Structure 1
Amino acid sequence: MKNIKWLLLMAIVLVLAACSLEQPGSNSSSDDQGEAGNDGDKVYKVGLSVSTLNNPFFVTLSEGVKEQAKESGSEVIVVDAQDDASKQASDVEDLIQQGVDLLIINPTDSEAVVSAVESANGSNVPVITVDRRAEGGEVVSHIASDNKAGGVLAGEYLLELLGEDQPQVAELEGISGSSAARDRGAGFNEAVDGKVNIVAKQTANFNRAEGLTVMENILQANPDIQGVFAHNDEMALGALEAIQSAGKDIPVIGFDATDDAVASVKDGKLSATIAQKPEEIGVKAMEAAVALLNGEDVEADIPVDLELIKE
């Protein structure tokens, strides 16, 4: 009889111990897509493909995405295409395989990225583009400043600095095939058409080192250059370095309002830059992503204001 009582007691102890191992409210499916966060909002996994993190503008843009994701409790996976369209296509495929709920893409090349967008479409992964457009595929929303309007602002200010008596001007272009380079150039040329003589127009691929080298070559071929417009601040700062090394004083206007460029404007070196507010672009992109995944309607084009920052 004592043995039976002892066995019953041991059984009760084992049952109580097993129950204590499972905490109240525990759920083994907490990693499922769309799980509820502490505030009841769904948590999403978003992939962000950036053209390059070697450019401060896109670093700031990605920080805006990540900060807003933190606010909503969502996860962001950031990949750097390193200005390589083939790598970007591969990165997007990897993000799709990782099961992202949505893709935010900053295209390296607006045409080359189409296949990646179409791949996402085929996998039912919504796509949002930022700063640069995709030339094809289904994109739910595009968040950017009006690059053409920014080019017009740059052109008008350069005319204000130089006058309209056919000054000799150089234009440093961004990556061929990117919508940003195309639109900024179109706006600038529209503003200065018939009023300046563009004696040099070369790509420096949105890169500071290339901007330096290209500007050195332009100055050798055209020593009487009177003004420069660069499609982004990195190229503008490179061009400015070449101009200073040559002992010249030539107005240079950039685009993006990166921290280095704004500091250079304040120091009286860079003549101006067009503020495109990359952090705000990133924030708005993530806001649109969460809204879309929550079943809300989002605008096909979401603009971000521009501002001319000058001496």
Structure 2
Amino acid sequence: MKKKLRILLISSLFLVILIGCIVKFYRAEDRPKVVVVLKDFNSEYWEITKAGVEKGFRDFEVDGKVIAPKDGTVESQRDMLENVLKEKPDVLIVSPTSPDRIIPVLEKFIKTNIPVLLLDTYDPWKDKTAYIGTDNLNLGRIAGELLASHLQPGDEAALIGGDIPVIGKRIEGAKMSLEAAGIKIATEKVGLSDHAEITKKAMETILRDDPDVKGIITTNDIVAVDALKVIKDHGLKIPVIGADGIIKMIKLIEDGTLTDTVAQNPYDMGYLSIETALKVIKGEDVKKNIDTGVDVISQDNAKLKLDFLKGLLK
């Protein structure tokens, strides 16, 4: 009798496990499929974006994956997108490395009725379902206002821009605010690659040719950190405003080297892109432009931001 009971219990347990596996399998099969293609995983910014995407996958029960080319080149991203097209996801989310060269591939997704969301990098491409990211003109305006708050009318400022698609809007917004505050634009050095030596050389040139410069705005934090090293080497204390809010930049604020900066919200970009993708799959209306906002980081909130980012990247 005991033997039969034991066999019955084992059989029941096996049946419960089998049913659970079947339910789990079908639940996974029924989940919406979303693929996210970023520019690379070689920078903290994209690692933070990836963390937001993966949190979205979990919270919204999406069968998703987030990928990026190892070398970060346009060619590699194009090849990667061609392979994703064969997988036929329900929605594609992409941060195009170079919109002009990537959009012809994205048109193929549209032809096969796969909606495309642009993440982080805006382009006026008419066939996108939505753009999720920063209003870069507004980011530039806020950066300009922040720098102007540390200067006096008549002071000179310099603008340094990395080699990124959105640079034009950030520079435009910064110039609007600086000029409105009476700050003179002494020089612009734009289209620079994010290599430390190139940034340092540009900053050396600015300090040599425009010694009266009282403040710097850069279009990303990698450039900002490298520019600041040159300023420190010259024994100067000049405010530098970045754009991304990476850990190195926030530490400079926490230790008092800088007073403040502006920051995008890559984590929110990633998370909201998945939420938006799910709405698209369900047939709900979504905004064409979803602004993920701009934060001002100062000593008042630097530690809180730093703890949050360290928790994401540990």
Residues 1:120 and 2:109 are matched in the alignment:
yes
Once the two structures are overlaid, the 10-residue window that deviates more, 149-158 or 136-145, is 136-145
1:243 pairs with 2:234: no
The structure with the greater share of residues assigned to helix is 2
Aligned counterparts of 2:68 and 2:206: Cα–Cα separation in 1: 31
Note if contact 2:186-2:213 (Cα within 8 Å) is conserved in structure 1. Answer: no
1:292 aligned partner, one-letter code: V
The one-letter amino acid of 1:266's match is E
Which consecutive unaligned segments of at least 5 residues does structure 1 have?
Answer: 1-19
Q: Does 1:184 align with 2:170?
A: yes
Report the Cα distance in structure 1 between the residues aligned to 2:42 and 2:196, rounded to whole angstroms.
10
| 1:161 to partner: Cα distance | 0.9
Asked if 1:215 is matched to 2:203, the reply is yes
Instruction: Select which of 147, 150, 157 maps to 2:136.
Output: 147
Q: TM-score scaled by structure 2? A: 0.80
Q: Give the letter aligned to residue 206 of structure 2.
A: I
Where relative contact order (Cα < 8 A, 6+ residues apart) is larger, the structure is 2
Q: 2:175–2:185: 8 Å Cα contact kept in structure 1?
A: no
Q: Describe the superposition over 1:215-272 as per-residue Cα deviations: whole angstroms up to 9, x where unpaired.
A: 2343344343321100111111111112112222111000121222122112122342
Alignment correspondent of 1:11 = none
Q: Bigger CA drift: 117-126 or 56-65? A: 117-126
1:55-94 equivalences in 2 (<5 Å): 55-81=43-69, 82-94=71-83
Partner of 1:264: 252
Secondary structure of the structure 2 residue equivalent to 1:132: coil
More displaced 10-residue stretch of structure 1: 226-235 or 190-199: 190-199
CA contact (8 A) 1:152 1:187 kept: yes
Distance 2:246 2:21 in 1: 47
Determine the structure 2 residue equivalent to 1:13. none
Whole-Å separation in 2 of the counterparts to 1:210 and 1:271: 25
- 1:253 counterpart residue number: 241
Distance 1:139 1:68 in 2: 21
For 1:5-20, list aligned pairs within 5 A.
Answer: none
Question: In structure 2, what residue type is equivalent to 1:127?
Answer: V
* Greater gyration radius: 1
Pair 1:45-2:36 in alignment: no
Number of equivalences: 283
Question: Structure 2: how far apart are the matches of 1:24 and 1:42?
Answer: 16
Q: Check if 1:282 corresponds to 2:273.
A: no
Q: Which amino acid aligns with 2:241?
A: I
Structure 2 Cα separation of the partners of residues 58 and 71 of structure 1? 20
SS in 1 for 2:132: strand
Residue type at the aligned position of 2:243: F
Q: For each residue in 1:252-295, what CA deviation from the matched residue of structure 2 results, as whole angstroms up to 9, or x when unmatched?
A: 00012122212211212234221222111111100111221123
Using a 3 Å threshold, how does the CA distance of structure 1 residues 84 and 217 change in structure 2: closer, same or farther?
farther
**Contact 1:53–1:59 (Cα < 8 Å) also in 2:** yes
Deviates more, 1:262-271 or 1:207-216: 207-216
**Pairing 1:292–2:280 present:** yes
Separation (CA, whole Å) in 1 of partners of 2:123 and 2:151: 36
CA deviation string 1:133-192 (max 9, x = no partner): 134251111111221111111111211111121x2322111325x1x2121111101112
Identical aligned residues as a percent: 25
State yes or no: 1:36 paired with 2:27: yes
Give, in angstroms, the shift of residue 211 of structure 1.
3.0
Alignment CA distance shift 1:110-1:23 (3 Å): closer
Counterparts of 2:20 and 2:48, CA distance in 1: 39
Shift of 1:206: 4.8
1:19-50 per-position Cα deviation (integer Å, ceiling 9, x unaligned): x9x955876995xxxx534xxx9412322111
Q: Report the aligned-residue RMSD.
A: 2.8
Q: Bigger shift: 145-154 or 222-231? A: 222-231
Change (3 A) 1:204 1:83: farther
* TM-score (structure 1 length as normaliser): 0.81
For residues 29 and 268 of structure 1, what CA distance do their matches in structure 2 show? 52
In the alignment, which of 119, 125, 131 is matched to residue 130 of structure 1?
119
The amino acid of 2:176's aligned partner reads: E
